[in-house]
Amino acid sequence: MKYTQLGNSDLQVSRICLGCMGFGNAGTGQHSWTVDETATREIVKHALDEGINFFDTAIAYQNGTSEEYLGRALNDFAKREDVVVATKFLPRSQQEIEKGVTGQEHIQRQLDLSLQHLGMDYVDLYIYHMWDYQTPIYDILDGMTQMVKAGKVRYIGIANCYAYQLAKANALAEKEGFAKFVSVQNHYNLLFREEEREMSKLCAEDNIAMTPYSALASGRLSRRPGEISRRLQEDSYAKLKYDGTADTDEKIILRVAELAEKYQVSMTEISLAWLLTKVTAPIAGATKLYHIDGAVKAVELDLSDEDLAYLEELYIPHKLVGVMAQNTRSGNKKEQVWMKNAPKGMQ
């Protein structure tokens, strides 16, 4: 495993971040394909053994049980100071807004609940999961900074935002003396490269770490077209994101398969090796032990300039999908899938 500094922080993170959305009680929350605590523990232990020290979860994942499973596993298999743990909070709910709960109060409540789930005193990276159009960014930054000053958070990050929002937030943070966002976690992979228009350039100029999710397009970049997995069959949200462009995306997937065959490696290794040339640490989910192996091997795979160009050549512009398409100024007031069976304390 190789390690790098996370943006303008002093956190040293593995080039692969283990995404924990696939962990948690499958009977509650957004996804039906998640793995139980026994499987979670095996995967986390294997990730640690392979040198992964960076773990990403969220209070929204499976009614908080992803945080619980991850926290107990790390407590048993690692020293707290040896791992970098990130979790995320959601925007204020309509119920909170109606009750007059401020953005600052909301953040403290969410963080305290996450820390309770994780069984930890602090998180290394606390991430603003998606832009809250009903809460001033001043209140968000103020609330997150209060948690940094309280010793419950080391650094803050943001996810699912536009480049202008990140630039605006960090400019305000500098003006007011608040903590700045050191990382951004957006949707970015070989099939969805819209981040290259503005976000990549902003992050390069300001040394903001990019830690993208859906690094393998929910598994589509790790297997040939037609190959089936439980997630491909049951993940309706991923279908919403990728089915609309499946025909054009398939041509890129076939090129991934072609290079995998050429170098006698997995498609996972090709897809992640490409992304590793663009970002700090892609978030790679795992529901089986071999998922870890493919991600780790990608760190050692060097693709030529010709390979990179070949993979990129067929890309065409994509419309925004998923959270960025749904979490709009008007859509922000609607209950979305990520709030399904939200943990008590998030209402």
Pairing of strands 12-14, 3-5: antiparallel
Exposure string for 212-236, b = 16+ CB within 10 A, e = fewer: bbbbbbbbbbbbeeeeebebbeebe
Q: How far apart are the C-alpha atoms of 210 and 127, rounded to whole Å? A: 13
Residues 15 and 52: beta-carbon distance below 8 Å: no
Query: Distances in Å between the alpha carbon of 124 and those of 12, 148, 157, 189?
Result: 11, 10, 10, 25
Amino acid at 172: L
How many secondary structure helices (H) and strands (E) does the chain include?
Answer: 14, 10
Give the separation between CA 12 and CA 2, rounded to whole angstroms: 10
Please say if 61 is a catalytic residue: yes
Q: Which of 61, 128, 188, 242 is catalytic?
A: 61
Q: How deeply is 333 buried, as exposed, middle or buried, from its count of CB atoms within 10 A (0-12, 13-18, 19+)? A: exposed
Pairing verdict, β 54-56 and 84-89: parallel
Question: 37: helix, coil or strand?
Answer: helix
Measured between alpha carbons, how far is 74 from 83 in angstroms, rounded to an integer? 8
CB–CB of 16/295 below 8 Å? yes
Annotated active-site positions, please? 61
